[in-house]
Amino acid sequence: MQLTRRRLLQQVAAALPLPALATELDWPCFRGAGAGGVAEGYPVSASWNADPDFGALSGVRWRVPVPGLGHSSPIVWRDRIYLPSAIRKSGKAPLRVGPSGGAPTPAEDNVEQSWVVLCYHSQSGRQLWREVAREAVPRGTRHEKGTHANSTLTTDGQHLVAFFGSEGLYCYSLDGRLLWSRDLGVMNVGRWGIGYGYGSSPSIYQDRLALLCDNPVDAFIMVIRLSDGKEVWRVSRQGVSDRSWGTPLICASGSRTQVIANGWPWIVSYDLETGQEIWRLRSGGDNPVPSPFVANGWIYVTNSHGGKSPIYAIRPDARGDISLPETATSNDAVLWSSPQGGSYISTPVVYGDYMYFGNTNGVVRCFRSKTGEKIYEERLGPDAAIYASLVAADGKIFCPSENGDIYVLKAGPEFRIVSRNRMGEPCYATPAISKGILYLRTTESLIAIG
């Protein structure tokens, strides 16, 4: 019997070697290995042009169209790139580009969609396979600046996990074979009765998969067995977090492994094996979007909105209620904090001795990562707006902007824009970096730079 084109592509892809042990060259999840957003060991381009309307193309290895719409980031495992997307059955998905005035406006996108997982060859951009996870009318709404595929995939080299929030959790082999799936219910994350869309990405540690599901109606965090999709534990977050879009951080330190979840009014750490609460910290910003991450052996968390934008550097051996009194900036568990300066949507990056923040108004800030001393606050440009998270490599900080430009900063205490690189399309997704190549998702394309 003649094979379909899709099955033939899957069999070709399956023939490629897939070692299960991650290397520092892989970018297996949101913000890469360890969720720190840093890749080293290779030179990375500082200047390029991917916009034919701006002039001759330069520095572009390849560019391929991506069907549908998604703010999810590419991940890289060996010579493959994996990417999810949501594709409308008819018409183009609406997206508000540019200032929205902060209005909680839902998108008019409640029509039948296909939620898909895509696989590309990293050297050529050739699509290897495409799997449809679900076809239906969305069970939740989304913000006009969001999408129905905000969450980034994750892999351990054997399993590939896609979480579309209300549209389900799916685990594939790396050649696109569905291993198991679960329906975790409707997660209309938002406020004022408006669902902004699900945004938290799944996190893997060994045979454990952590999921943050802060639906205001029934908020919970859970850990699932990666091998078969069976629930290990589930803990309610009612009264702990009214909403959160950050990705849970799995931090293995000393004799314990914990799951840290950003939230409001509490940031909380849970034991990975039992779900028992380890510590909690009263938070500030009431729309927590950035994800916790580890650098310098410490846990960094920030959030913003509602007049507060705190930053915290936390010891991984913290226990109990580690909240700070109103006038204090540190205690035995919190090494330093700042009541202002944190980011609203973008997750910051620690690179060397400094911590860099990007904001939706185009302002970037730099702090000393070990003391919290503010170094600078500058604006990238009048039309810059950062929604994607920052990443760093080769002495550079990469700042994707909604206006379709990637600003490259020189790492260090001096604010210096090395280059402004045109992509030709708005950029909301956090870049991936592997072997010195930048993989960038715009609203319509996947592009390799280097």
What's the whole-model pTM score? 0.93
Gap between the Cα atoms of 344 and 375, Å rounded: 19
Two structure tokens written together for 213: 């599901």
What CA–CA distances, in Å, run from 116 to 134, 172, 384? 7, 12, 30
Which candidate, 275, 270, 232, 234, places its Cα nearest to that of 251?
270
Q: Which two tokens stand for residue 289?
A: 């979007």
The pLDDT, as a whole number, for residue 93 is: 96
H helices within 210-284, ranges in order?
Answer: none
Give the SS3 label for residue 330. Answer: coil
- The structural domains of the chain, ordered by start, are 5-449 (2.130.10.10)
Reading the block at residue 226, the tokens are 């990666």
Rounded to 5°, the CA angle 136-141-142 comes to 115
The alpha helices in 235-297, defined as continuous H runs, are: none
The C-alpha atoms of residue 298 and residue 315 are separated, in whole angstroms, by 5
- Distance in angstroms (rounded) separating the CA atoms of residues 233 and 446: 37
Edge to edge, the sheet with strand 445-449 lists: 60-65, 445-449, 437-441, 432-434
Number of Cα atoms under 13 Å in the Cβ half of residue 62: 12
Vertex 310, ends 394 and 330: CA angle to 5°? 95
| pLDDT of the residue at 17 | 33
pLDDT (tens place) for every residue of the chain, 450 residues total: 333 434 433 443 333 333 344 456 899 999 999 899 999 999 999 999 999 999 999 999 999 999 999 999 999 999 999 999 999 999 999 999 998 766 788 999 999 999 999 999 999 999 999 999 999 999 999 999 999 999 999 999 999 999 999 999 999 999 999 999 999 999 989 877 778 899 999 999 999 999 999 988 899 999 999 999 999 999 999 999 999 999 999 999 888 999 999 999 999 999 999 999 999 999 999 999 999 999 999 999 999 999 999 999 999 999 999 999 989 999 999 999 999 999 999 999 999 999 999 999 999 999 999 999 999 999 999 999 999 999 999 999 999 999 999 999 999 999 999 999 999 999 999 999 999 999 999 999 999 999
Distance of CA 164 to the CA centre of its chain: 13
Pairing of strands 277-282, 320-321: parallel
CA distances 321 to 188, 207, 313, 334, Å, are 29, 29, 15, 11
pLDDT the model gives residue 426: 98
Q: Which helix (H) or strand (E) holds 205?
A: strand 203-205
